[in-house]
Structure 1
Amino acid sequence: MEIEIGRMGRQEKYKLLIGCVVPRPIAWISSISAEGVINVAPFSFFNVACIDPMMISVSVGRKAGGVPKDTARNIRETGEFVVNMVDVYNVDLANQTSADYPSGISEAEAVGLTLVPAKTLKVPRIGESRIHFECKLHQALTFGEPAQADFLIGEVLHVQVADELYRDGKIDIETFAPVSRLAGHSYARIGEQFERPRPVYPAEHR
């Protein structure tokens, strides 16, 4: 099937992307408004952006009419946020915070999350998560005309990982038990794992 993007509506494009680009890691982002309200929300348009300096990226879709979501507005205003990783133990709480809470209402308070002070930021970590990336805003871009999404790149200032997850300089993936996003209401756990060593191009052919 050949799909002509120009003939597709927004919802059709959305379903195609989230159905094809899978699985997607979930950034459970905590941020704070200029008025001091703690906002928490999950986003699956999220990934690593650079190793050194360490940076991660997240795309936050806008509401109808091009209105920025609280997360994007907070990050633009304060310049900081925490990415708290989602796993099988906190995914239900993360999902609860995805509801469309009115601005000024703290999802953390409504859901009953444990907020833990960050090491380098005013924004707190989520205690129910076991991996945290404390970030300062490096760059913010707006996509679409009219605006459809805020693409945020954060420089990681500090990382906190639960002791039981970090072994020999690596994350123990089975103990971490991360959860990824699929399409619709579907999520996924880590299934069968396999390795494929990266091939080396023969030196004599260079």
Structure 2
Amino acid sequence: MTNIGTEEIYQLEKYYRVSLINSLIGYRALNLLGTSSADGITNLCLISSVFHLGANPPLIGLVLRPQREHNDTLKNIISTGQYTLNNVLPYWYMQAHQTSASYPSGVSEFDACGIKKQYIKDFKAPFVGQSTVRIGLEFKEVIDIEINGTSIVIGEVVHILAEDGLIGADGTIDHGKAETMTVAGLDTYYLPQPIGQLAYAKPGVEPHILKTDVEF
């Protein structure tokens, strides 16, 4: 068994350490974060730090890296109060990956990477036209993390745009049918495979499958 301790971790070659630590927790949600400046200049970045915070009110959090001069994302979120999260699909995931490049401030990754913008009435931030699951959020709070200079952004879900047939009778989104991709590490992409949906867990009740998508 490999056992890498604290001292060894800090002695690892920089990019090896970054890849190792980023891939440790396995598959993560993958989204494109769409924003617009107050002047209407759009911005798009790939993000894998999105997490559920609660359903009432419907809150989603995400972590943004330390701000740099050319990074418009957090500035746009705060200035307009609106942003979008959009799933990534296999046939254009390389274009999505390219949005992580360090484009200069004021350059729209939508345009630079060939990704379609989609707007809805009375909502400033652009959605991704090629996505099958899109979320519109209103900015609620930012929490600065002193230990590494990152920020946690919390938003309330105000729009859910899903292609027909993706939301089940119980409200669950079928991300397999939606072709939603995941990521492990910085740049290795996966298509998740559904195994089965289990009944709500209760003490003294054995777990049982409500439905399964894979035969064992």
Q: TM-score, length-normalised on structure 2?
A: 0.80
1:17 & 1:55 partners in 2: Cα distance? 27
Query: 1:23: which partner in 2?
Result: 27
Q: Single out whichever of 13-22 and 113-122 deviates more from structure 2.
A: 13-22
Kindly indicate whether the alpha-carbon contact (under 8 Å) linking 1:120 and 1:158 is maintained by their aligned counterparts in 2: no
Question: Could you list the per-position Cα deviations for residues 81-126 of structure 1 after superposition, in whole angstroms to 9, with x for gaps in the alignment?
Answer: 0111122233222112111110010111112222111345211211
AA matched with 1:36: G
Query: 2:156: which partner in 1?
Result: 155
Unaligned runs of 5+ in 1: none
Q: Give aligned pairs, total.
A: 200
Instruction: Give the RMSD, CA atoms, in angstroms.
Output: 2.6
Query: 1:84: which partner in 2?
Result: 86
Identity %: 23
2:138 & 2:119 partners in 1: Cα distance? 15
1:23 & 1:185 partners in 2: Cα distance? 11
Summarize the Cα distance change of 1:52–1:140 in structure 2 as closer, same or farther, 3 Å threshold: same
Kindly indicate whether the alpha-carbon contact (under 8 Å) linking 1:118 and 1:134 is maintained by their aligned counterparts in 2: no
Q: Single out whichever of 1-10 and 67-76 deviates more from structure 2.
A: 1-10
Kindly indicate whether the alpha-carbon contact (under 8 Å) linking 2:135 and 2:161 is maintained by their aligned counterparts in 1: yes
Aligned counterpart in structure 1 of residue 61 of structure 2, from 57, 60, 81: 57
AA matched with 1:188: Y
AA matched with 1:153: I
2:176 & 2:60 partners in 1: Cα distance? 23
AA matched with 1:40: L
Q: TM-score, length-normalised on structure 1?
A: 0.84
2:119 & 2:198 partners in 1: Cα distance? 40
1:155 & 1:6 partners in 2: Cα distance? 41
Cα distance, 1:14 vs structure 2 = 4.2
